[in-house]
Amino acid sequence: MACHIQIGDDPTIWWLAEQIQPSQLSQPLSVLTWYPIRGNLVLSPRAANVAIFTPPPVLVPNPLSGPGGLYLPTATGPSAGHIGYQLAGQDPAALAEQIQALMRSGQSQTITLAAGGTLVLNGATLPFAVTGPAAIGGSTPHG
């Protein structure tokens, strides 16, 4: 059964492909998201708060589309104009695993951006990140 969550100050409601339990939040957790971005959401146990809602909405709208990238928490959430940073060829699934490791160790890592810049991720303070798009098989959840 799917669920949806809201994390910290980011206004986004993330629709997950599977239900999560509060007890799972003691370690960095990676789950597939359906909406608003299809991807891998990596959630830190250091997130200030996580609201878990079940059952999920009955109908899932189409996810935002755009080039594969990395969404980090914002005050406004993702939109059609900004769904994150475009990455320079990194595999989204491998990047999700690297972010989980950063959250466990509290280390930092640089990520090369397609626009030629560099992004520094601090695993000690990052509440969550979404890498995408993810290859999610099957149909979307309908509660």
Q: How confident is the model at residue 132 (pLDDT cuts 50, 70, 90)?
A: confident
Closest by Cα among 106, 133, 132, 135 to 121: 106
Does 70 map to a domain?
A: yes
Q: How confident is the model at residue 2 (pLDDT cuts 50, 70, 90)?
A: confident
pTM: 0.83
pLDDT score recorded for residue 10: 94
Does 34 map to a domain?
A: yes
Q: Which residue has the higher pLDDT, 66 or 124?
A: 124
Closest by Cα among 73, 69, 78 to 122: 73
Tell me the C-alpha distance between 33 and 74, whole Å.
Answer: 17
Does 78 map to a domain?
A: yes
Does 139 map to a domain?
A: no
**What is the mean predicted confidence (pLDDT) over 110-139?**
82
Does 16 map to a domain?
A: yes
Structural domain tally of the chain? 1
Does 118 map to a domain?
A: yes
pLDDT score recorded for residue 134: 54
pLDDT score recorded for residue 137: 42
Enclosing domain of residue 74: 3-132
**What is the mean predicted confidence (pLDDT) over 13-17?**
91
* pLDDT tens sequence across 72-101: 999 988 887 778 888 888 888 899 999 999
- Residue ranges of the alpha helices (H) in 1-142? 92-105
**What is the mean predicted confidence (pLDDT) over 101-106?**
97
Does 38 map to a domain?
A: yes
